[in-house]
């Protein structure tokens, strides 16, 4: 499947676009559950033992500094578990720990919607740090303002409070969100005309900040300097009519002049549209899942995967759909293989 920015500039110019994503075969939403049910059932069939209602509290280290086990609360009782091969930390990221977010990724505080299962409090990362692990790219995070579907909205253009464009809107929505958040005051509007208007599926109650029969009416209602927004739309329309976007390189498929009234500006300002986020920074690891200390030496017996580690997605603006799940499953498997072979 196509998973994000492959077909969008600048990525489309750097690598031949190809659908590089994979999903479990399932009609509609819910393929993730199908995938997890299959993987869990297979793990249990192979003899893995799962403990629920459990919380790992700390790592236990032997005198040589290798990871010897964990302290864990299972059904309310404190237990110590020896790890003969190793401990793989897969406790998610830290978006739910607002103190940590403030310390490491303050820009993500602007995203009040937490993309997490509710337990992403950074416990895994903190356990790693407690035994000397390096935590890297801790300022990076995935963010989104899901402005489509409907896909017709990708044909709209985002402008900031100066009436200027700032991104090719056909980029992955997470990349677009980072650019929106980076505008003065995090304020931006998606300009649409009657031909492409629709309510975004995830936020159907979107605020229509301005509407009018001409772009100058919309500009006035948004309180922008006279001519700023009108000039931007005229420029965009002139080039879009020729199938071109020389300023931001939006692909021709998404280019269409915004000329069919009435016209509107959908608000993606912080008060109207809360951004969603999860963190991408985490423990430094090798491709086989071994956790590295600050001197880039592996910590014996310690592994990490998923958002507890800083795996492939190291750059919020370059993130595409699937990069977190793929990263978790692939490097989780690598960590398990390496630990099992110890």
Ligand X SMILES: Cc1cc2nc3c(=O)[nH]c(=O)nc-3n(C[C@H](O)[C@H](O)[C@H](O)COP(=O)(O)OP(=O)(O)OC[C@H]3O[C@@H](n4cnc5c(N)ncnc54)[C@H](O)[C@@H]3O)c2cc1C
Q: Least separation, in Å, of the C-beta of 308 and ligand X?
A: 6
Q: Least separation, in Å, of the C-beta of 56 and ligand X?
A: 4
| Sign, Cα dihedral of 6, 277, 292, 57 | negative
* Separation between Cα atoms, residue 28 and residue 34, nearest integer Å: 12
Judged by CB, which is closer to ligand X: 56, or 190?
A: 56
Judged by CB, which is closer to ligand X: 120, or 219?
A: 120
Distances in whole angstroms, Cα of residue 273 to Cα of each of 74, 172, 205, 222: 40, 18, 10, 16
Q: Cα–Cα–Cα angle for 147, 151, 155, nearest 5°?
A: 85
Judged by CB, which is closer to ligand X: 5, or 324?
A: 324
* Nearest of 236, 242, 244, 245 to residue 263 by alpha carbon: 236
- The neighbour count for residue 252, using CB atoms within 10 Å, is 12
Q: Least separation, in Å, of the C-beta of 176 and ligand X?
A: 16
Q: Interface residues with ligand X (CB under 6 A)?
A: 54-56, 90-92, 115-117, 119-120, 123, 278, 306-308, 321-325, 328
- The neighbour count for residue 146, using CB atoms within 10 Å, is 16
**Which residues are registered as beta bridge partners of 82?**
69
- Mark out the alpha helices in the chain (DSSP H runs): 11-14, 31-45, 98-104, 123-130, 173-181, 215-221, 228-241, 323-340
Q: Least separation, in Å, of the C-beta of 161 and ligand X?
A: 30
Q: Least separation, in Å, of the C-beta of 328 and ligand X?
A: 4
Judged by CB, which is closer to ligand X: 183, or 308?
A: 308
Residue 209 DSSP class:
E
Judged by CB, which is closer to ligand X: 155, or 290?
A: 290
Label the pairing between strands 276-279 and 263-267: unpaired
Paired tokens of 153: 């909205």
Q: Least separation, in Å, of the C-beta of 71 and ligand X?
A: 10
Judged by CB, which is closer to ligand X: 159, or 171?
A: 171
Q: Least separation, in Å, of the C-beta of 304 and ligand X?
A: 9
Q: Least separation, in Å, of the C-beta of 123 and ligand X?
A: 4
Judged by CB, which is closer to ligand X: 258, or 323?
A: 323
| Sign, Cα dihedral of 129, 133, 137, 141 | negative
Judged by CB, which is closer to ligand X: 265, or 302?
A: 302
**Helix, strand, or coil here: 311?**
coil
Judged by CB, which is closer to ligand X: 285, or 324?
A: 324
* Nearest of 303, 315, 306, 273 to residue 120 by alpha carbon: 306
Q: Least separation, in Å, of the C-beta of 31 and ligand X?
A: 9
User: 82 CB contacts (<8 Å, ≥6 apart)?
Assistant: 68, 69
Q: Is 102 exposed, middle or buried (0-12, 13-18, 19+ CB in 10 A)?
A: exposed
């Amino acid at each position: 499947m196509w998973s994000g920015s492959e077909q969008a500039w600048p990525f489309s110019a750097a690598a031949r676009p190809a659908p590089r994503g994979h999903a479990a075969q399932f009609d509609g939403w819910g393929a993730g559950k199908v995938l997890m049910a299959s993987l869990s059932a297979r793990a249990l069939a192979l003899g893995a033992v799962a403990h629920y209602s459990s919380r790992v509290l700390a790592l236990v280290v032997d005198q040589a500094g290798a990871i010897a086990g964990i302290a864990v609360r299972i059904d309310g009782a404190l237990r110590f578990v020896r790890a003969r091969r190793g401990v793989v930390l897969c406790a998610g990221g830290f978006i739910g720990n607002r103190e940590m977010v403030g310390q490491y990724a303050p820009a993500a505080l602007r995203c009040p919607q937490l993309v997490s299962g509710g337990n992403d409090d950074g416990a895994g990362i903190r356990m790693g740090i407690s035994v000397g692990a390096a935590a890297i790219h801790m300022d990076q995070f995935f963010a989104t303002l899901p402005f489509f579907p409907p896909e017709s909205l990708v044909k709209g253009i985002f402008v900031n409070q100066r009436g200027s464009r700032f991104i090719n809107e056909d980029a992955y929505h997470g990349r677009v969100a980072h650019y929106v958040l980076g505008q003065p005051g995090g304020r931006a509007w998606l300009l649409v005309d009657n031909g492409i208007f629709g309510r975004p599926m995830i936020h159907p109650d979107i605020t229509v900040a301005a509407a009018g029969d001409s772009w100058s009416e919309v500009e006035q209602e948004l309180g922008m300097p006279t001519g700023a927004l009108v000039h931007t739309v005229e420029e965009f329309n002139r080039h879009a009519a020729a199938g071109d976007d020389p300023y931001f390189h939006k692909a021709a498929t998404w280019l269409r002049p915004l000329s069919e009234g009435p016209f509107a500006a959908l608000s993606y300002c912080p008060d109207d549209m809360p951004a969603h986020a999860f963190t991408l920074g985490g423990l430094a690891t090798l491709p086989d899942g071994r956790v590295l200390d600050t001197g880039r030496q592996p910590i014996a017996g310690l592994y990490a995967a998923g958002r507890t580690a800083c795996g492939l997605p190291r750059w919020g603006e370059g993130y595409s759909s699937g990069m977190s799940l793929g990263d978790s499953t692939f490097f989780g498997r690598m960590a398990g293989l390496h630990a099992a072979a110890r």
